[in-house]
A and B are shown apart, each in its own frame.
Chain A
Amino acid sequence: MDIQNIVSQETARQDIYKSLANCYRLPEEVIFTDLATLSDQLSNLNSEAASYINRMQTEPDQSCDLELLQIEFTRLFIGPYSLPAPPYGSVYIEKERKVMGDSTIDVQQRYQNFGLDISKYFKEVPDHITAELEFMFFLTYKEIESILSNAPEQAQEMLLHQKSFHNDHLNIWIPDFTDCVIENAGTEFYRNLAKATRVFIAEDFEYLKSVSILATQG
């Protein structure tokens, strides 16, 4: 694989994380651009998640009715009632149905190690799914930057950070979270988004583990 291919591959991962992160925000018109990106880049990686994204774009009940999607998004991920699928890591990892737990602080600490924090405009907890996926986007961005800067050791570090973040956070709670969405979604749109998320996170964790298997062998 030449550098261009590697960069293309990692760029696909980077774009997927960014667009997936955006999909867990209150839906606006721009979500359809993100879906197009996801569709392209997941296909480029031969991801099984692509089919779910394609269904989101084609099946009738996603219906381009933005208000309907907003109501559904609010019900699933914001509340104010019942909140069937809280998009917060701590709720699943610590099993206390509480935000700002120790696991949240660990996430925040990881952001801070990279000079990052929750944006003051975001007004959510550090382990909100959008923030965590965006952090993965950031790490892949830095990885690519390192590759392009001829700094393989930094690229390796970024990969290990990604794997560690998956290992301690995303891979632990995303399956439970997506189960909640799949079970409670009133639209195929969000059910498919959850399925795509679940599949992609699992695939990408396998990919990241392959990095560390190589590391162990070395």
Chain B
Amino acid sequence: MTTSKDFMMKKVNSNHLNGGKMKKKKSISLISDFLKNKGLSRRSFMKATVATGAAVSVGGGMLPQMKALAAASASSGKDQGTWLPATCQGCTSWCSMQVYVINGRAVKVRGNPHSKVNLGASCPRAHLALQQVYDPDRIKTPMKRTNPKKGRNEDPKFVSITWDEALNTIADKIMELRNDGETYKYMLMRGRYSYMRDILYDRMTKIIGSPNNISHSSLCAEAEKFGPYYTEGYWGYRQYDVTNARYILLWGADPLAANRQVSYYSKVWGEAIDRATIAIVEPRLSATAAKADEWLPAKPGTDGALAVAIAHVLLTEGLWYKPFVGDFIDGQNLFVKDQQVDETLFEEKYTYGLVKWWNLELNDKTPEWAAEIIGLPVDQIRRVATEYGKAAPHAISWLGGGPCMQVRGGFAAMAVHALNGLVGAVDNVGGTLTANKEYTSKFPKPDDFMDEIAKKGKKHGKIDHRGRLHFPCISSGKPGGGVITNNAAEGILNEDPNEIKVAIAYMNNFSFSAPQPERWERALSKIPFLTHITTNASEFSWFADILLPDTHHMFEKWGYVKSHGNGHRHVTLMQPIIENVWDYKTDETEIPWLIAEKLAEKGFDNLLRHYKTYIDPETGKEPANEKEFALYSLKYATQQLWDPAQYKGGDKFNGWKALAEKGVWNSAPYPFKKRWGSMKTKTKQFEFYSETLKEALGKHAEKHTTTIDEVMKATNYLARGEMAFVPHYEEPYIMGDEKEYPFVHVDHKSRLNREGRSANCSWYYDFKDIDPGDEAWDDVAKINPLDAKKINIKNGDTIKLSSPTGSLVCTAKLWEGVRPGTVAKCYGQGHWVYGRLASKKFGKVPRGGSSNDIIPAQYEALSGASAYYAVTRIKIEKV
């Protein structure tokens, strides 16, 4: 900032040079002196008509031929600046934003005051977008690889090419697959998306004719959705009514730092703290833990034990919420430790299977039993359970990724979420809520544009092996319904079920963001033709044949996303609100259109004909180019939000322009208790004994002509028989021998991570110490001083963390905010490429260490989620 100011000062001074009229008058005689001095006689000037006038008139004549400069358009000029609507995708809170734009240049950001979800608030990471958009290391033009060899040690030797050359090359490769009847060898990999995604991810893949559109979702949080789905039939992220809550019990969730609705929760957390007791279960003192009443640093992987012990207390103490759960017919509490209960004696209201759950799992799960497993005092467990129960129904059990993105996390997710059922917090004031209704529309169906080659190609098996016996991926109750992203690397490497010849990937970086990323390096090296669409060349781009520069979501593209919080849902628009600095195009709209045009030129016009059906709802015009397509498809998808003739609910607008100006549509407020008795489970009730899961597992077992017990075995679960249908505790599956690897690794996320994309922003390093325990301009592993003393590690030592599958180098930080026996390390640094600042020595020495290098590729196989937590032990060595 100082440098900018200095610069402006200097500029002011220099302006004196060519400033006021007095000076000019003087300079007229001076040039004569100057010219005389050079021996020039005035008579030798050519006689010509001289156009005199203001200084700028010299620019008014004919312009010489130039390449970089041209006559300015009428619109160029001074502008005082305007706040324009935008959307932040730095994490999946997806806050509605505003950007202050002066002369086409973004200068600052803030929350959009029109959003009822984030209420004008913004979190710290949003501001880093300004450094991202004006990062000199961005991909600026399409590029092609000139080094045919691929590998970590092979410099791709990229060279700039035109869009035309890039698109022709891509289209030729797709046409080869079409002509050879091998369209199933085409693959699309999706990273960060907007809801324009289906244009590229779904429609294009289907019309070309491949089953292989692979999303990143299972690297994200699929296991977290498993808990709510198999209890209350909701496959999605919850919102929490924190300002009406009286108890907030968080499990491996850090809403003041990361995901979801960080801006909203940061804004109202003071209010929440005033009214509610806040307890947090996490081995590390997170940003939220630092402001909590109770910190429960349980041993990693034992959340399920704590959850069932709390459930045990709630039942034995009679603290369940009777208007939701029901009661014993004669009013006497028969939930007594170690005693089975006759199911017919309890009458449930909006729940199902409570007594079954008690009999199968809870009856002996006392705080004393749990204390030993989780390593916390009995008193604390009992106190938290009792106070939580007394706050019913305004008592939130908040499931984060921590307890469930584990190998055996599915049942822990159910156990943690089931507490909400016991205290009646589900769908209730001060409780856990699903998403409000919104009215965006799907894009036109592709079916009529899929020819025989496409239909045949799409029938092939998927490259990620979802739905196989050991990978049920039963999202939303459908076996094989979910993705198992990280396993696609194995599919590619083993050509199972077939080789991948042509792949397009966008806004993803699997060779950095997926556990055991070295597998991706080998897999990507094997794909003969890979296109990567992204903003910054990453560890993934390193293996690409063609790189296409992508627009930045906050400033440069059309699109929309939807998210929920504060009892509302918003649909927030992405809009091109600044002048693009370089030659990028938008991943999910413009680029597929341009590829479709090229395919049509080469004789396959199905995709282009399909895209032409995305007509502008205002004019009825079909799109004629990529820019129109990007805009029309957005207007098409959001028509019911802005077209008064099609109004369905929520904010009302009088046309597209009105929505675009505000940038956000808000739903009606949340309809509490509406789902009581009509949940999307098999029984329509909140299931403590999951008939829904029983059916889904049954279908999966049937598909493989085996038993559910065999499915449990194949997926590394210990449950057998009826236990597979109730929330329960299972001993965690943690890799590494305790003697060789004495510590359990704890991965966590930063307040400043814009997913994995902050590493080339200097502000990330400047402010890294806003993450509790972390240091500015460093990447530290947080070790409890008691542990450090034992192994003679001092603050600031350079250390190597090793697991059975890899290692990383970082700095030791002695810190009491981490449970003894565990080592906490933030995800985000450790890039070996990604930009000038991101790596210490480009291509060779990373800046800091990437957690994924020590996390093995393991899965919570029922959902397909990659396991990040309680998955590996590590050792520490001085370097």
Instruction: Mark A residues whose CB is within 8 Å of B.
Output: 1-4, 6, 21-22, 25-26, 67, 70-71, 73-75, 78-84, 86, 88, 91, 93-103, 105-106, 108, 111-125, 128, 130-131, 134-135, 137-138, 141-142, 145-161, 163-164, 167-168, 211-212, 214-215, 217-218
Contacts and interface: CB of A to CB of B under 8 A. Distances in A.
Contacts of B73: 117
Given A3-B45, A117-B71, A168-B11, A153 B842 contact: no
Contact of B135 (A98, A106, A150): A98
B30 interface: yes
Given A2-B40, A124-B582, A215 B30 contact: yes
A114 B58 CA distance: 7
Interface string B1-16: 0011001101100110
19 contacts: A25-B67, A86-B136, A91-B136, A94-B7, A97-B836, A117-B70, A118-B69, A119-B70, A123-B140, A124-B582, A149-B50, A150-B45, A152-B32, A153-B24, A153-B31, A154-B58, A155-B35, A160-B18, A214-B34
Contact of A119 (B42, B52, B69, B158): B69
B151 to A, nearest CB: 15
B66 A134 contact: yes
A167 B16 CA distance: 13
Contacts of A21: 67-68
Given A78-B141, A100-B581, A67 B67 contact: no
A159 B31 contact: yes
B836 A152 contact: no
Interface string B497-536: 0000000000000000000000000000000000000001
B674 interface: no
Contact of B69 (A117, A159, A161): A117
A218 B58 contact: no
B873 interface: no
Contacts of A218: 26, 29-30, 33
Contacts of A94: 3-4, 7
Given A117-B72, A164-B14, A98 B134 contact: yes
Contacts of B645: none
Interface string B607-630: 000000000000000000000000
A81 B160 contact: no
Interface of B: 3-4, 7-8, 10-11, 14-15, 17-18, 24, 26-35, 37-42, 44-52, 55-56, 58-61, 63-64, 66-73, 76-77, 103, 105, 131, 134-141, 143, 146, 157-160, 536-537, 541-542, 547, 580-583, 762, 833, 835-837, 842-843
Given A74-B143, A80-B143, A111-B69, 5 more contacts: A67-B159, A112-B72, A142-B58, A149-B51, A215-B30
A78 B70 contact: no
B842 A81 contact: yes
Q: Which of A25, A98, A112, A115 has the most CB of B within 10 A?
A: A115
A100 B34 contact: no
Contacts of A135: 69
A142 B870 CA distance: 70
Contact of A80 (B34, B40, B47, B541): B541
Nearest to B837: A97
B762 A96 contact: yes
Contacts of B63: 116, 138
Question: Which of B39, B158, B843 has most chain A Cβ within 10 Å?
Answer: B158
B136 A97 contact: yes
A99 B52 contact: no
Contacts of B33: 214, 217-218
A166 to B, nearest CB: 10
Contacts of A4: 44
B28 A74 contact: no
A118 B70 contact: yes
A51 B299 CA distance: 70
Contacts of B8: 102
Contact of B68 (A84, A101, A119, A160): A119
A49 to B, nearest CB: 21
Contact of A153 (B27, B135, B141, B762): B27
6 A-B pairs with the lowest CB-CB distances in the bound complex, closest first: A156-B31, A80-B537, A114-B59, A119-B70, A117-B72, A153-B28
Given A97-B762, A157-B55, A116 B71 contact: yes
A151 B34 CA distance: 14
A134 B68 contact: yes
Contact of B159 (A74, A106, A131, A145): A74
Given A83-B137, A119-B68, A124-B582, A100 B105 contact: yes
B159 A95 contact: no
A167 B157 contact: no
A143 to B, nearest CB: 9
Contacts of A78: 140-141, 143, 160
